[in-house]
A and B are shown apart, each in its own frame.
Chain A
Amino acid sequence: MAGLTEVGRSRIRAEGRAKVTGAAVYTDDAPAPPGLLHGATVRSQVPRGRITGITFGEGIPWDEFVIVSAKDVPGVNRVAMIVEDQPFLAEDRVNHPEEAILLLAHEDRILLEKARAAVKVAIEAEPAVFTIEQSLAAETVVWGQDNVFKTIRIAKGDAGDAWATAAHVIEGTYGTGAQEQLYIEPHAVVARTTAEEGVTVWGSLQCPYYVHKALKHLFHEPDDRVRVIQMETGGGFGGKEDYPSLISGHAALLSMKAGGRPVKILYDREEDMAATTKRHPSKTRVKTAFDAEGRMLALEMEFLLDGGAYVTLSPVVLSRGAIHAAGPYRWPVVDLTAKALATNCPPHGAFRGFGAPQSLFAIERHLDVAAARMGMDPVELRRKNLLRIGDVMATGQVVKEAVDLPGIMDRALEALDYHGRRAAHAAHNASGDPVKKGVGFAVFMHGCGFTGGGEAYLASVAGVEGTAEGKVRVLAASTEIGQGTNTMFSQVVAEALRIPADLVEVQQPDTKLVPNSGPTVASRTCMVVGKLVQDAAIGLKQAVVQSGLLKEPYTAADFQAAVAAFVEARGSLKAYSQYSTPPHIVWSDETYRGDAYGTYAWACYAADVAVDTRTCEVAVNDFVALQEVGRVINPTLAAGQIEGGVAQGIGWALWEKVEWREGRMANAQMTNYIMATSADLPRLRVLFEENPNPLGPSGAKGIGELPMDGPAPAILNAIQQALGTDAPTEIPLTPELLLDTLEAPHA
């Protein structure tokens, strides 16, 4: 089968037909199982306090309801994640608005809603903190000794007298807001808990084994008495990374109390937006030293995240943010302190980029501020300082791959006609037109796979099996959530075996049937799990060859017949592969030194904007996203990932503002939380450069999170150029904030 290549082709999405015909089965689309009850959650209306009593109002037939409180938990009432501080159900106190206190179930959804409203929880309010500044000041302590979930220090080099002798010392402070993931399918789960079978959950989720672990803990059950099945999932973006553990636990507790009747919990949009996780708000202080030619001498940073009320994923979000904070530059000296802080908001969680967009916004925005203050061109400032092969990153990681960052920057800028438009815009802006135009860009990288020792700790396993029809079925817990996992796995296996991708199936993730290939997060599914699947496929083929049923070279028909014959003769044909860290990747969690990631995707994004100075509206008129991603497995799917991430990044930069009122999201509706429509965006232009990396299948790296990093700094840098002021340093830069910024005395 020489010449057959599946990798690099835009193969049609494996489950695409079911999706375009409406036949795909999402959690709420499966036929209702007999005896189904609906579940609802009674939540805290105050940010922090002590529960003093619960009363059940008049006029509700309470004896028909299943009611669950913390007292009903058979195992441990803590969500098993990094630190076990978050209860499934509040015990004697609450720490954020919308915290779950009580669960109700009934077969009539309308009556259930009335009942939820009739439960009154009396709470004696206590002082609460709502901002990074309040949390850091620790005048009110709401978590631990000092409100600090985690502190990370990254130190490189010795500053010596760099600060004293530098030609330029430039400081700035940058801030980013919370952002709702806004998957179009809200959270949904069905659970059944019986004495015979244990706990079974069907849900809209990214990480089946996270839910599995959480339920084992909650019910004190062994591995084989908890089963988690992922249904078709209508988007995740990190929002369905950890939260499904909580909602699955709730549904499973109700089912247990209901004597094994299945229970479905669906969040409506408002509950989903108000109660579930968001991107961590951030505040970053940057201080930089440059020599007279603009060469970087030293970087000092304080990177702070608002983690919300419980630890959840904040330490690892902080870690990714801290490691990316220096950007793709060769700072000889780095002194970074990063902290994740407690507030009395619902816990902030995973959202595409996982801390890196926040810190990269700060450094990339700061470099344009610095360039303006030094009277330098932002292109030339970066050119002098971009990482090259052999350079040492902030954690001491040596760049070993032949990355061409100046070339990536130049080619992205050329695609936008950056230099031509910059001159044209300068002339336009001098004309007195109230609409000001500007171009801006950002250069950045995104680490592929888990941070530091994370992949070694996970030790993920993926496999393949032969089917009776002679096909190959992929066995992995990595979920299809729209990003193309099913199609990508099919192409990787087909390429490895030199068979058509039609002969490859992907098992629906079900913890009873698939090994733990780790969570579907961290730009790892293609590079890390795809590589395991590829290795397993080669192992399967070798087993068939060794059996004597198959000889190389073979045709697809030979292969299919041999696999079918093997399965017929032996009953089953399975092969697995487990991750082990390549010997050249070394990392220490104690010192935060070493190879923070096996490799990085590298990129430059450039934006062309117009600012109407009468309305303070910003229009993005053109956008170029150029990236080096190793090898592109499926060009259409890969471009779709980048385009979607860029759209989310533009929204984060300009429109997507969470209005907080005492820790509660006040605009928890699609009507007043503004994401982009098709009419708000230009045609996003995506360009790939390929430089195959041996860590991934056929040389592919990870791309899922990368596109979130670049848009916000590129757009704000363009606004700086349009308006001739470096004052905008906070996002989302809504018209209201831009107006305030321009009217502030220092602007």
Chain B
Amino acid sequence: MPEKLALSLEVNGEARTVHAWPMARLLDVIREDLGLRGTKEGCGEGECGACSVFLNGRLVNSCLVPAVQAQGAMLQTIEGVAKGEALDPVQQAFLQHGGAQCGICTPGMVMAAVDLLQRCPEPSEADVRDGLAGNLCRCTGYVKIVDSVMAAAQSVSR
């Protein structure tokens, strides 16, 4: 019989241990065992990006990652993006420029945007469109999301 794993990891800067099946989806561990409900499930097959998180600094679709792979890892979720009350410049820009509508893709979209700006601090519009192409949004037609990310890049570089 398989046994649950004592899974120890750093979650948004805090040491946590939970007991999870080794092949449980990291997404379920995040939502159910860690109680962090900001990470969303849109498709369960790595297409929509709503479940995007950082695992050891790399952006991943948490619906495709088995829990065992997070053993000893550094995990950052949407809840760890703002510093207390202070929003990240990406979050601030999404607010200001209408980047969130229904909001269900927004946590994943914010994670992907943070990732993009780390890799490419001064992106062109084409860079942003390419960089966010793994995250689906059904509400916005992406215009205001692209605007938000471009504005965030500018506010950071200033």
Q: Does A22 contact B (CB under 8 A)?
A: yes
- A residues contacting the other copy or chain, number (CB 8 A): 58
B82 to chain A: closest residue by CB? A21
Least CB distance from A256 to B in Å reads: 26
| Beyond known contacts A19-B100, A233-B102, A647-B142: 19 more, CB 8 A cutoff | A13-B95, A17-B87, A20-B91, A22-B37, A29-B37, A234-B105, A269-B44, A643-B140, A644-B141, A648-B141, A670-B43, A677-B142, A678-B128, A678-B132, A679-B129, A679-B130, A679-B133, A684-B141, A686-B143
Q: Does A646 contact B (CB under 8 A)?
A: yes
Query: Interface digits, A1-38 against B, CB 8 Å rule (1 contact, 0 not)?
Result: 00000000010110111111111111011000000000
Task: Determine if A23 and B38 form an interchain contact, defined as CB atoms under 8 angstroms apart.
Answer: yes
Which of A153-161, A605-613, A633-641 is the interface stretch?
A: A633-641
Query: Interface digits, A714-736 against B, CB 8 Å rule (1 contact, 0 not)?
Result: 00000000000000000000000
Task: Determine if A678 and B145 form an interchain contact, defined as CB atoms under 8 angstroms apart.
Answer: yes
| Bound complex: CA A23 to CA B80 (Å) | 11
| Bound complex: CA A10 to CA B96 (Å) | 9
| Bound complex: CA A181 to CA B45 (Å) | 18
| Bound complex: CA A15 to CA B104 (Å) | 12
List, in ascending order, chain B residues with CB within 8 A of A237's CB.
138
Least CB distance from B40 to A in Å reads: 7
List, in ascending order, chain A residues with CB within 8 A of B62's CB.
none
Task: Determine if B100 and A16 form an interchain contact, defined as CB atoms under 8 angstroms apart.
Answer: yes
Task: Determine if B100 and A13 form an interchain contact, defined as CB atoms under 8 angstroms apart.
Answer: yes
A237 to chain B: closest residue by CB? B138
Task: Determine if A184 and B79 form an interchain contact, defined as CB atoms under 8 angstroms apart.
Answer: no
**Interchain residue pairs A-B with the least CB separation, the first 3:** A22-B38, A482-B102, A234-B104
Contact A25:B42 (CB < 8 A) given known A235-B102, A643-B140, A679-B129: no
Task: Determine if B143 and A20 form an interchain contact, defined as CB atoms under 8 angstroms apart.
Answer: no
Task: Determine if B145 and A182 form an interchain contact, defined as CB atoms under 8 angstroms apart.
Answer: no
| Bound complex: CA A406 to CA B78 (Å) | 49
Give the interface centre of A12, A234, A236, A680 by most chain B CB atoms within 10 Å: A234
Q: Does B125 contact A (CB under 8 A)?
A: yes
| Bound complex: CA A184 to CA B44 (Å) | 11
Question: Could you list 9 A-B pairs, sorted by A, with CB under 8 Å?
Answer: A13-B98, A20-B94, A183-B138, A184-B138, A482-B139, A639-B143, A640-B139, A677-B142, A681-B141
Q: Does B110 contact A (CB under 8 A)?
A: yes
List, in ascending order, chain B residues with CB within 8 A of A269's CB.
42-45
| Bound complex: CA A233 to CA B40 (Å) | 12
| Bound complex: CA A236 to CA B45 (Å) | 21
Q: Does B146 contact A (CB under 8 A)?
A: yes
Task: Determine if A678 and B100 form an interchain contact, defined as CB atoms under 8 angstroms apart.
Answer: no
List, in ascending order, chain B residues with CB within 8 A of A490's CB.
none
Within 8 A of B (CB), among A151-198: 181-186
Task: Determine if B98 and A10 form an interchain contact, defined as CB atoms under 8 angstroms apart.
Answer: yes
Q: Does A429 contact B (CB under 8 A)?
A: no
Give the interface centre of A16, A23, A25, A637 by most chain B CB atoms within 10 Å: A16
Least CB distance from B26 to A in Å reads: 16
Contact A12:B95 (CB < 8 A) given known A21-B38, A640-B144: yes
| Bound complex: CA A397 to CA B36 (Å) | 55
List, in ascending order, chain A residues with CB within 8 A of B101's CB.
235, 482-484, 640, 644
| Bound complex: CA A235 to CA B39 (Å) | 16
Task: Determine if B140 and A640 form an interchain contact, defined as CB atoms under 8 angstroms apart.
Answer: yes
Task: Determine if B103 and A234 form an interchain contact, defined as CB atoms under 8 angstroms apart.
Answer: yes
List, in ascending order, chain A residues with CB within 8 A of B91's CB.
20-21
Q: Does B136 contact A (CB under 8 A)?
A: yes
Q: Does A683 contact B (CB under 8 A)?
A: yes
Once A and B bind, how many residue pairs between them come within 8 Å at the CB atom? 170
List, in ascending order, chain B residues with CB within 8 A of A25's CB.
37
| Bound complex: CA A42 to CA B35 (Å) | 30
Contact A234:B130 (CB < 8 A) given known A16-B95, A184-B104, A644-B101: no
A19 to chain B: closest residue by CB? B103
Q: Does B153 contact A (CB under 8 A)?
A: no
List, in ascending order, chain B residues with CB within 8 A of A183's CB.
102, 104, 138
Task: Determine if B48 and A670 form an interchain contact, defined as CB atoms under 8 angstroms apart.
Answer: yes
| Bound complex: CA A269 to CA B45 (Å) | 9
| Bound complex: CA A718 to CA B44 (Å) | 37
Give the interface centre of B47, B87, B94, B133 by most chain A CB atoms within 10 Å: B47
Give the interface centre of B36, B44, B50, B141 by most chain A CB atoms within 10 Å: B141
Q: Is the interface of A mostly helix, strand, loop or mixed?
A: loop
Interface residues of B (CB under 8 A from A): 36-45, 47-48, 50, 77-79, 81-82, 87, 91, 94-107, 110, 125, 128-130, 132-146
List, in ascending order, chain A residues with CB within 8 A of B98's CB.
10, 13, 636-637, 639-640
List, in ascending order, chain B residues with CB within 8 A of A80's CB.
none
Task: Determine if B138 and A648 form an interchain contact, defined as CB atoms under 8 angstroms apart.
Answer: yes
Q: Does A568 contact B (CB under 8 A)?
A: no
A484 to chain B: closest residue by CB? B101
Task: Determine if A639 and B45 form an interchain contact, defined as CB atoms under 8 angstroms apart.
Answer: no
Among the listed A22, A181, A648, A678, which residue makes an inter-chain contact with B107, where contact means beta carbons less than 8 Å apart? A22
Within 8 A of B (CB), among A433-468: none
B126 to chain A: closest residue by CB? A679
Task: Determine if A671 and B45 form an interchain contact, defined as CB atoms under 8 angstroms apart.
Answer: yes
B148 to chain A: closest residue by CB? A20
Contact A677:B133 (CB < 8 A) given known A20-B91, A21-B81, A482-B139: yes
List, in ascending order, chain B residues with CB within 8 A of A29's CB.
37
Within 8 A of B (CB), among A652-710: 669-671, 675-681, 683-684, 686
Task: Determine if B136 and A675 form an interchain contact, defined as CB atoms under 8 angstroms apart.
Answer: yes
| Bound complex: CA A647 to CA B137 (Å) | 10
List, in ascending order, chain A residues with CB within 8 A of B103's CB.
15, 18-20, 24, 232, 234, 482
Task: Determine if B40 and A26 form an interchain contact, defined as CB atoms under 8 angstroms apart.
Answer: yes
Task: Determine if A22 and B48 form an interchain contact, defined as CB atoms under 8 angstroms apart.
Answer: no
Q: Does A481 contact B (CB under 8 A)?
A: yes
Among the listed B44, B81, B82, B100, which residue makes an inter-chain contact with A268, where contact means beta carbons less than 8 Å apart? B44
Within 8 A of B (CB), among A13-71: 13, 15-26, 28-29
Give the interface centre of B45, B129, B142 by most chain A CB atoms within 10 Å: B142
Task: Determine if A235 and B138 form an interchain contact, defined as CB atoms under 8 angstroms apart.
Answer: yes
Task: Determine if A670 and B136 form an interchain contact, defined as CB atoms under 8 angstroms apart.
Answer: yes
Task: Determine if A677 and B136 form an interchain contact, defined as CB atoms under 8 angstroms apart.
Answer: yes
Give the interface centre of A12, A637, A643 by most chain B CB atoms within 10 Å: A643
List, in ascending order, chain A residues with CB within 8 A of B136's CB.
184, 670, 675, 677
A12 to chain B: closest residue by CB? B95
Give the interface centre of B77, B81, B107, B137 by most chain A CB atoms within 10 Å: B137
Contact A644:B133 (CB < 8 A) given known A16-B95, A234-B102: no
Least CB distance from A705 to B in Å reads: 14
| Bound complex: CA A669 to CA B95 (Å) | 31
Task: Determine if A184 and B102 form an interchain contact, defined as CB atoms under 8 angstroms apart.
Answer: yes
| Bound complex: CA A18 to CA B87 (Å) | 11
Among the listed A21, A236, A643, which residue makes an inter-chain contact with B78, where contact means beta carbons less than 8 Å apart? A21
A636 to chain B: closest residue by CB? B98
List, in ascending order, chain B residues with CB within 8 A of A182's CB.
138
| Bound complex: CA A483 to CA B101 (Å) | 6
List, in ascending order, chain B residues with CB within 8 A of A647's CB.
140-142
Among the listed A13, A22, A670, A678, which residue makes an inter-chain contact with B129, where contact means beta carbons less than 8 Å apart? A678
| Bound complex: CA A287 to CA B148 (Å) | 47
